[in-house]
Amino acid sequence: MSYLLKHYEPGARVMIKIDSSVHSGMPFRRFYGNVGEVVSRRGRAYLVKVMDGGKEKIVIARPEHLREIK
């Protein structure tokens, strides 16, 4: 339960791990397992910058679908 209340600061490294029990704020399945950097916050969701192929992309995801990388 504590991962639902987690707050991430800009610059934090996170992994996208989709929680299928929560459908709101779920990123596209292509980004599952990708590691990225939190850019900013948008409402209850976070903007995460990830690499897809050779391009940087911004993924919008809620904190239920993110895990912190230490």
Q: What is the pLDDT of residues 13-49, one digit of tens each?
A: 999 999 999 999 999 999 999 999 999 999 999 999 9
Boundaries of domain holding 56: 2-68
More confident residue, 5 or 64: 64
The pLDDT value given to residue 33:
96
Question: For the whole prediction, is pTM greater than 0.85?
Answer: yes
CA distance readout (Å), 52 to 5, 15, 19, 33: 28, 14, 21, 12
More confident residue, 34 or 3: 34
Confidence of residue 5 (pLDDT cuts 50, 70, 90): confident
CATH of the domain at 18: 2.30.30.70
